[in-house]
A and B are shown apart, each in its own frame.
Chain A
Amino acid sequence: EAGVTQFPSHSVIEKGQTVTLRCDPISGHDNLYWYRRVMGKEIKFLLHFVKESKQDESGMPNNRFLAERTGGTYSTLKVQPAELEDSGVYFCASSQKPGNTGELFFGEGSRLTVL
């Protein structure tokens, strides 16, 4: 069974440009999450999809970030325009069920560097 896959693994862009990160969750997992780790600090929650609906987007830093999950399968996270402070590693995770007992299955992350 394929795990959570993320693309690209590393992206280097200039300030003001646009980047789109993609996440393919494990097949059958309705719950999809985005996280971000900046400068080796803690991993912070960005948002949570249940199928194609945004269940919780309270962690999204500002309106330069747009997440979508059309059709409830893969998800994209677009940053437009990118700023220096957006640099970090963006993790995607999926789970079969929500709830505090759920195990999250993580992708390998997409490292974003904004110059």
Chain B
Amino acid sequence: AQSVTQLDSHVSVSEGTPVLLRCNYSSSYSPSLFWYVQHPNKGLQLLLKYTSAATLVKGINGFEAEFKKSETSFHLTKPSAHMSDAAEYFCVVSPYNTNAGKSTFGDGTTLTVKP
């Protein structure tokens, strides 16, 4: 069994300030973890993924996430928010040795970036 909890449904930051989107997971197996972003009227796009290699994962657009097994967390961060980062973000867990499609998605976090 597996589950994902995105701890904040909405996050609001000012442009140029750091971004933190929180994600906790549970999984009976060694998980693979992903962050996807969805801009309005667009499909979901992969930001980054953790697949049992380095625990600090760097993604596109300056985002990164750290896999912390002891805390069962995979929080997404960015040092400085840009207006174009405003979107909805999804944390996804997939158990090892299964198809990537049968993954469990979090409820999503909407990021607002204020000028």
Contact = CB atoms under 8 A, between A and B. Distances in A.
Contacts of A4: 43
A102 interface: yes
Contact of B51 (A101, A106, A108): A101
B99 interface: yes
Contact of B100 (A42, A43, A58, A101): A101
Interface string A93-111: 1010011111111111100
A98 B43 contact: no
A8 B104 CA distance: 26
Nearest to A58: B102
Interface in A41-94: 41-45, 48, 55-56, 58-59, 91, 93
A45 B102 contact: yes
A107 B99 contact: no
Given A4-B43, A91-B44, A107-B43, A100 B97 contact: yes
A106 B100 contact: no
A19 B104 CA distance: 26
A48 B46 contact: no
Interface of B: 4, 31-32, 36, 41-46, 49, 51, 90, 94-108
